[in-house]
Amino acid sequence: MRFSAWSLRVISVCSALIFVPSAWAHLSVSPTRVSVGEAVDLTFGAPNEDDDLGVDHVTLSVPAGFDLDDAEAKPGWTQSRSGDSITWSGGRIPKSEYATFGIRGTAPSTPGTVTFNVLVGDRTGKSITYRVGLDVVKSTTRDNGARSLGKAAIVVALGAAALGLAALFLGIYVWLRPPPAA
């Protein structure tokens, strides 16, 4: 498939917007939208943009209304919980890299935007607190992409089978029909 230079630029920009934390937030959450009262797994991408020592602790504070159930155990990191905050410490996020931290919980029962505070810091005490919004909506549409692709594959397979049968019957007809009169 060929792409024009313009479409390659658009793809690059869109990819950067999707896969790299926002320039304003510097920290990402996935998914960005959940349904009210839904049990969710959230993944936060915590960056180390310019700290030469490396980020060695991340504290995530959940907003009011979000019920925190559990947090991801990360190899090389210790985890502690205090109220509605989870702290991972002892690991290291090298400069210009990021790490993901996951939590499991239940979304608030009312729609709106809730804000998570995420503090990242190094062993010298230098830290940055990011505010990350999560949209809580009355209902979300489920990604049926795989299901739709599966249905499309079945339709294509059935179409190919029908064409194959038609070719088989045509071949049998041609083979069995009497030769033309001379």
Residue 35 banded pLDDT, cuts 50, 70, 90 = very high
Read off φ and ψ for residue 139, nearest 5 degrees: -155, 150
Which whole number is the average pLDDT over 49-57?
Answer: 89
Q: What is the pTM of this model?
A: 0.62
| Residue 9: HSE in the Cβ half-sphere, 13 Å Cα cutoff | 3
* Predicted pLDDT of residue 106: 96
Residue 57 pLDDT greater than 90, yes or no: yes
Q: Tell me what percent of the residues of the chain surpass a pLDDT of 70.
A: 78
Q: How far is CA 149 from CA 136, 143, 145, 152, in A?
A: 28, 11, 6, 5
Residue 104 pLDDT greater than 60, yes or no: yes
> Is 120 in a helix, a strand, or coil?
strand
The predicted-structure confidence for 149-180, as pLDDT tens digits, reads as follows: 666 667 777 777 777 788 887 778 777 888 77
Residue 90 pLDDT greater than 90, yes or no: yes
Tokens describing residue 52: 């030469």
Residue 8 pLDDT greater than 90, yes or no: no
Cβ(29)–Cβ(43) under 8 Å? Answer: yes
Residue 61 pLDDT greater than 90, yes or no: yes
